[in-house]
Amino acid sequence: MEQVKPTRSELLRLKVNRNLAEQGMNLLKKKRDALLLEFMPIIDETMRLSLRLERVTADAQYDLAMAKAKEGGQTVRSASYASQGEVLVDITGTHVMGVPIPTIRKGQSTMRSALKRGYGVTGVSSRVDSAAEKFEEIIDVIMESADIETKLRRLGEELRKTNRRVNALENIVIPNLDEQIKFIEMSLEERARENVFRLKKVKRALEQKAEARMARIRGES
């Protein structure tokens, strides 16, 4: 235990600090509970998107393989070069329980019609269109995943930080303050008992002197 002065002013200061620490701990627990309420649905959404991405990727790879088998690799590569484009992304910000979180949104849907993909629709099979559609869907899912996983990571970090603070206050700071408060209270009680004992001794000595004086006076008379 760190050295503390066993004085009433120090006892008062420690009790004030102890109350503040407990209030802070309670507030942090409420924040932790609120973060958990936000966090759990995000985990479910992240898992859902992960499974969707896995499924769409598998479908896209299958359609791509079938398109290559039917059209030939060169035709598929030519179609892919012709259908290149750009993906516009809007990044803004929001706050969840005071935690700043970037919000990622696609500027426009990456899903396009066959006529807007740049290659001649009469020169390729439906397998190429299907593969292109699946890969465009992959981009959409990746955008959604990027947004939700960013939120998950930020909230997870804040949740861990808040939990560490709660544990530090609950298991270290407050117990240490309680120990110091108990030490000072015991010291003050011991000092008070010693003072009472000294006062009793002084009182007894004064009484004995008074009795001796009275005895001398009676003897002289």
| DSSP-derived secondary structure for the chain | ------SHHHHHHHHHHHHHHHHHHHHHHHHHHHHHHHHHHHHHHHHHHHHHHHHHHHHHHHHHHHHHHHH-HHHHHHHHHHT-----EEEEEEEETTEEEEEEEESS-----GGGSSS-GGGS-HHHHHHHHHHHHHHHHHHHHHHHHHHHHHHHHHHHHHHHHHHHIIIIIHHHHHHHHHHHHHHHHHHHHHHHHHHHHHHHHHHHHHHHHHHHHHHH-
Distance of alpha carbon 97 from alpha carbon 115, whole angstroms: 46
Is-contact 118 84, C-beta < 8 A? yes
pLDDT per residue over 74-110, tens digit each? 766 666 655 666 667 777 878 877 888 888 777 665 6
Among the residue ranges 120-124, 187-191, 200-204, the one predicted with the least confidence is 120-124
The pLDDT of residue 178 is: 95
Residue 44 forms part of a structural domain: yes
Q: Does residue 166 belong to any structural domain of this protein?
A: no
18 domain-assigned: no
8 A C-beta contact, residue 117 and residue 134: no
Domain total of the chain: 1
Q: Residue 32: pLDDT band by 50, 70, 90 thresholds?
A: very high
pLDDT at 205: 78
By residue range, what is the domain housing residue 119? 23-153
Assign residue 37 the CATH number of its domain. 1.10.287.3240
Q: Does the pLDDT at position 172 exceed 80?
A: yes
Query: Full-prediction pTM beyond 0.85?
Result: no
Instruction: Say yes or no to pLDDT of 167 above 80.
Output: yes
pLDDT of amino acid 4: 77
29 in a domain, yes or no? yes
- pLDDT tops 70 at residue 204: yes
* Structural domain contains residue 43: yes
Q: What is the pLDDT of residue 117?
A: 53
**In whole angstroms, what is the distance from residue 36 CA to residue 158 CA?**
10
Residue 219 lies in a domain: no
pLDDT band at 68 (very low <50, low <70, confident <90, very high): confident
At residue 212 the predicted structure's pLDDT band, cuts being 50, 70 and 90, is confident
In this prediction, what percent of the chain has a pLDDT beyond 90? 29
Is 42 among the domain residues?
Answer: yes
